Structure 1
Amino acid sequence: MLFNREIVSDQDEVHTGPSCPAGSYADPNTVANDGATAPPADLMPVVPGYESLGPNVIPPSDFGSVQPQAPSSAPERRFDIPAISEELAQEAFTKYVTSKCCYSSKPAKEMVFTDLQSLNTYRYRLETFTESRTTEWDSEPYNGQVVDGFGAAPGPWSIPVPVPSLFKDCEKAVRVPHTSTVKGCHSCLNLGRSACRRCVNSGRTRCGPCNGMGWTQTSQRQRCTMCQGSGMIRCHSCGGVGSVTCTTCKGQGKLLCFIKLKITWKNNVHVAVIDKRSGFPVELLEQITGEKLLTDMAPMVYPVVGFPDSSVNVASESAVREHQAQFSTTCRILQQRQTIELIPITRVHYTWNEKTYIYFVYGTEHRVYTKDYPAKCCCCSIL
């Protein structure tokens, strides 16, 4: 999954660019070359429509045909959640303190609440599920299989490939019809065998027990029984033949070459957290569950409009425009999904020993964060 996180304050926005994750071939119909490699490109024929092969993605043939759906609206009421009760705040704090071996439980038991402030935070997420395609020459050992080299090859985007589960990264490779041809193996020059690298085609290697001397290193010089005094023994890698089966053509001497179409599905994720400048580290919210307020899914969504917090509308418009500009020219956008979550955060002010402290209770899980716990001890040790 391609994941970007953005923290948006009430005054500004910060954007981060996407990166491309690696995928894996997992489909049973995936092309497998069993170690074979295609001959150099200058030795391969030119196939109409595939003059430029390589890692660069191929622009979709239907670029611009999909248009955004009607604007996504949200109810006009505000989605504010009151601050949690003092009882719940103390219960969460006590549970947190108990989990820390070096924290004394006295502040959690003796503290006096002075203020509980609700700092509810919105999290906007946009997922853009894309499909991209690249082409390259590939090969497999030729064992007499049918050579599909007649007729016009279909365009890269004309080849039907079933789409896997939405919003999940996946890769698949298929053979382009009517691009097959038989070539002599470039690795072994059509022989089916390659020179053994261990013995350099001689079939013999230096004897290990006597280090190639022919005799043992003892007080009385004796002929080595392993090599019979010659200092050389039969190569174990090639069995003394001096050559091994070619790993490219598997001993066939010929390769079935074809153009491979590689399809990559990526879920590109953009997350914006509306920061209330509360001092709470918003990176802690990545694994926190919020209350889902809005879910909108379409082949191409339109930015959210009319949400009570204008920062959410701005974040949505920025993310949608950015994804459409970034992916529509190089990939096919198959589906988009945008969501808005409300994450409850309560800032708790309390006093203990005549000093004021702060901690946060956040998420529906009621987790606790504090950086200035007043009573830490050194009663535990690291083994």
Structure 2
Amino acid sequence: MNEKDEELGEFDPNIPEEGPTSPPPGWLDCVTGYEEPKGDDAADQLYPPPPAYNPQPENDRNASVPIVRVPTVSEDMAREALLKFVASKWCYSSKPARNLVFKNLKPLTVYRYRLETYTETRSSTWECQPFTGGQDVDGPQYGMSPPPWDIPVIAPQRYKDEVQKICVPHSSVVKPCHRCHGFGRVRCKHCQGKGSKRCTACHGSRYTRNKRCGSCHGRGRRRCVFCHGKGNRNCESCAGKKYLLNYIQLTVTWKNHVFEFIPDRLPEFPLKKLEKVTADPFFVDENLLVYPIVGFPDQDICEQSRIATQEHFSKFSSVSRILQQRQSIELVPLTHAFYAYDGKDFEYFIYGLENKIYTAKYPSACSIL
């Protein structure tokens, strides 16, 4: 390292210390409809939809559900499903599945209820970018900014989660950078603007082992690697341009809120396995607001439908615009198979339209074919 590389910068009192990354309160003008909220959740400010967009439930309407027949599984289907399952387990022998004797195939009635509430939520925050002089500035001179819910957006496919960010019309304004106070550069915080830091080899003493320190050439300080000895660096917010284009960014969030319920009446079968298999959706009800299911034989489904629709309406209607709701009841195929093999009794479950298998115990596990 030569002497030139170790030249130390001089402190420049004109270059300001680095300011906050976000504009301080009052730095930007208040825009009607986008007033800054009090507290620490400014970036998460939610704008409830206008009252005219809040749907109201009709107490005199309910959803009726048809009665369905529980599907049955034949012995051939049950054996084929078990053979396919065994083939996926390297330590399971296929011999028991081929030679077992069925004692009973018991179909079980399992319903899966699902409620979806598709909402649109809007929030806003001030954003900025370096102003180079070439950008269009859509400021208040062109008119007032429209309220958050009056800004048109292109909605995504229904029930699909998506986020869009939009610059609010007529909200742009050019101001000196708040971080560098319009200087374009800020004092290096690592060396406090001095351009050098105390040598870590000699700890500033200039000597090591009674010899002149070879790391700092006896200066006791070394050039700051963060500012390359200048004592200051380009402002990260304005990229040295001194000015920022500030604007209000509207964030529109579409989200599908899902509630699912499966009555738990089979302690010997893990209920979570029924959540990801395909079922038969024999009932689907879709509207701006759906209404509690009544008259269905499984009263737990009716009760959960009543609770879920009330909770979704209460939770989402005050802070979001409810765009659509959809509820469904699916019949999940489930068969309890009992069989005998080698003088012992065993059992397994066949579930889902995929005919998946669950068994807690299988004969001849970890045996060689």
Question: Please, what TM-score do these two structures have when normalized by structure 1?
Answer: 0.77
* Map of 1:42 onto structure 2: 26
The 3 A distance-change label for structure 1 pair 222 and 228 is closer
**Does 2:124 correspond to 1:140?**
no
Structure-1 separation of matches of 2:331 and 2:255: 27
Of 140, 149, 168, the residue aligned with 2:140 is 149
* Map of 2:14 onto structure 1: none
* Map of 1:61 onto structure 2: 50
Farther-moved stretch of structure 1 (155-164 vs 140-149): 140-149
* Map of 1:240 onto structure 2: 229
CA deviation map 1:232-289 (0-9, x unaligned): 4443432322110011122122323333322221110111123443632120022211
Letter paired with 2:71: I
* Map of 2:333 onto structure 1: 344
Of 58, 71, 75, the residue aligned with 1:81 is 71
Return the offset for 1:329: 1.3
Return the offset for 1:125: 1.3
Of 184, 188, 192, the residue aligned with 1:196 is 188
Letter paired with 1:182: V
Q: Aligned Cα RMSD in Å?
A: 3.1
Whether the 8 Å CA contact 2:183–2:242 is kept in 1: the answer is: yes
The 3-state SS of whatever aligns with 2:275 is helix
Whether the 8 Å CA contact 2:283–2:329 is kept in 1: the answer is: yes
**Does 2:97 correspond to 1:108?**
yes
Structure-1 separation of matches of 2:170 and 2:288: 32
Same amino acid, percent of matched pairs = 42
Return the offset for 1:136: 2.6
The 3 A distance-change label for structure 1 pair 278 and 231 is closer
The 3-state SS of whatever aligns with 1:41 is coil
* Map of 1:51 onto structure 2: 35
Whether the 8 Å CA contact 2:64–2:295 is kept in 1: the answer is: yes
* Map of 2:312 onto structure 1: 323
Of 324, 348, 351, the residue aligned with 1:359 is 348
Structure-2 separation of matches of 1:106 and 1:188: 78
CA deviation map 1:130-171 (0-9, x unaligned): 011122333222333425023333222122222122212222
The 3-state SS of whatever aligns with 1:319 is helix
Farther-moved stretch of structure 1 (66-75 vs 281-290): 66-75
Structure-2 separation of matches of 1:153 and 1:117: 66
**Does 2:279 correspond to 1:279?**
no
* Map of 2:357 onto structure 1: 368
Letter paired with 1:43: W
How many correspondences in the alignment?
340
Mapping for residues 119-198 of structure 1, pairs under 5 Å: 119-144=108-133, 145=135, 146=137, 148-150=139-141, 151-198=143-190
Return the offset for 1:74: 3.6
CA deviation map 1:311-344 (0-9, x unaligned): 4333333322221121111110112222222111
Letter paired with 1:330: V
Unaligned runs of 5+ in 2: 1-19
Question: Please, what TM-score do these two structures have when normalized by structure 2?
Answer: 0.80
Letter paired with 1:42: G
Farther-moved stretch of structure 1 (310-319 vs 359-368): 310-319
The 3-state SS of whatever aligns with 2:150 is coil
Letter paired with 1:363: G
Structure-2 separation of matches of 1:160 and 1:234: 54
Whether the 8 Å CA contact 1:238–1:244 is kept in 2: the answer is: yes
Letter paired with 1:174: I
Letter paired with 2:348: Y
Whether the 8 Å CA contact 1:138–1:257 is kept in 2: the answer is: yes
